[in-house]
Structure 1
Amino acid sequence: MNPEIAIDLFKTTVMFALYIVAPFLITVMVVGLLSSLLQSVTSLQEPTLTFAPKLIALAGLALVLTPWLLRSISEFTITIINRMPGLAH
């Protein structure tokens, strides 16, 4: 395997990982911002008020995105497996 192919494979994998993780990161960021804003407005400084909504939002998002995640990961895996014979050069 020459370095160009290895770099391309690594770049593809990292970009795919970011593509898969982005909805979760954005959700946690938005929920965290809203809960922090709520805590600032109400002067409640309870740590569970930031953790619980994030956990609930992530669980709900995981349930909603499961079909998309499975389809995307299986398509990526099939693509990488199909590229393997070309990597042996």
Structure 2
Amino acid sequence: MDTVSTYEILRLTITTVLLASAPVMAVALVVGLGISFFQALTQIQEMTLTFVPKIIAIFVALALALPFMFGTLSRLSSRVFDLIVGGGV
């Protein structure tokens, strides 16, 4: 295995992980910002107010984004297996 193949696999893996985790991370960011704005406007500093809605939103986003994540990871594994079969690794 040469360095070009190694860097290609690493690049594909990092890109896939970022792409697969993006929907859940975006939902967590939006919900967190919304809760922060709500707390700043109402001056309610309750700790459970931050965690409970964010956890629920993350679980819902994870359930909805699971087919997309599975497809993305399946494409990566197929590409890596094709590189292995083709002798690129």
Using the size of structure 2 for normalisation, the TM-score is: 0.90
- Percentage of pairs with the same residue: 28
Question: Distance between the aligned counterparts of 1:43 and 1:15, measured in 2?
Answer: 40
Moved more, 78-87 or 52-61: 78-87
Task: State the shift of 1:32 in Å.
Answer: 0.4
- Structure 1 residues without counterparts, runs of 5 or longer: none
Moved more, 31-40 or 72-81: 72-81
Moved more, 18-27 or 64-73: 64-73
- Structure 2 residues without counterparts, runs of 5 or longer: none
Residue 88 of structure 2 is matched in structure 1 by 87
Task: State the shift of 1:35 in Å.
Answer: 0.1
Using the size of structure 1 for normalisation, the TM-score is: 0.90
Residue 17 of structure 2 is matched in structure 1 by 17
Any residues of structure 2 matched to 1:1-89 within 5 Å, and which? 1-85=1-85, 86-88=87-89
Task: State the shift of 1:71 in Å.
Answer: 2.1
For these two proteins, the number of residue pairs brought into alignment is 88
Question: Distance between the aligned counterparts of 1:53 and 1:59, measured in 2?
Answer: 10
Give the root-mean-square deviation of aligned CA atoms.
1.2
**Higher RCO (C-alpha 8 Å, min separation 6):** 2
